[in-house]
Amino acid sequence: MKRIFVACGSGVATSQTVASKISSMCEDEGLAVTVEAVDIKSLESIIDQCDIYVSIVSTGANNWNVPTISGIPFLTGVGMDEEFEKLKEFIKK
């Protein structure tokens, strides 16, 4: 089962909304994942515990070896299908 982290500034409203949306979409597709909303401040210390990172806020340059997609399309709906396709590819790897 793949573990997905969604991070925003506080780990509450925005990341929780995106995490819920991604979780629901994955469930509809029969994909085995856990999706967690986390705050950006704790991300650096826990990034190695996830398989895929969904970014809502910029973290600047990082050297994480974790596939990353944008969470903004899951908020706006613009480009969401394309981002979800990327996510599914990472999940299937």
Render pLDDT for 26-50 as a digit per residue (tens, 0 to 9): 999 999 999 999 988 888 899 999 9
> What is the spatial distance between Cα 72 and Cα 57, in angstroms, rounded to a whole number?
9
Is the separation of the CB atoms in 35 and 74 below 8 Å? Answer: no
Specify the pTM: 0.91
Q: What is the mean pLDDT of residues 72-79?
A: 95
For each of the domains in the chain, give its residue range(s) and CATH number, in order of start: 2-92 (3.40.50.2300)
